Amino acid sequence: MNNGSIDDHEAVYGYSFLNISVGIWRDMTSKNIEEMIYEVKEAGNYDLWKEELEMDLERTKYFRTIGIGMKGYYEK
C-alpha cells in the first residue's frame, strides 16, 4: 500500500509512487484517441482506421508499463 507521496508531473500518462518505488505509465489516453477519431471522421477516413482506433481506445483503460525499482529509485 502506498502511504507516501505520488509524483504526478506526467499526470494521466504516468505516476510514480515514491515510497514504494513503483511507477506506472501509458502512452495515450481516451481523450487522445477521441480527438483522433474526431479528426479522422472530419477527414472522411474513419472506416479505414475504425478497427485500430477502437483497439487503441480500449487500450487507454489500462497502463502499459509498470516499473518496480530499488528502494528510493523514484525519489531521485
Q: Please check the confidence at residue 64 and state whether its pLDDT lies above 80.
A: yes
The answer to whether residue 1 is domain-embedded is no
On the CB side of 33, CA atoms within 13 Å amount to: 18
| Boundaries of domain holding 30 | 6-75
Is residue 13 assigned to a domain?
Answer: yes
pLDDT of residue 76: 64
User: How many domains would you assign to the chain?
Assistant: 1
Say what the pTM is: 0.80
In contact, 6 and 16? CB cutoff 8 Å = yes
- 33 found inside a domain: yes
Q: Is the pLDDT of residue 51 over 80?
A: yes
**Residue at 60 is within a domain:** yes
pLDDT digits (tens, 9 = 90+) for 5-44: 999 999 999 999 999 999 999 999 999 999 999 999 999 9
Whether 63 is in a domain gets the answer yes
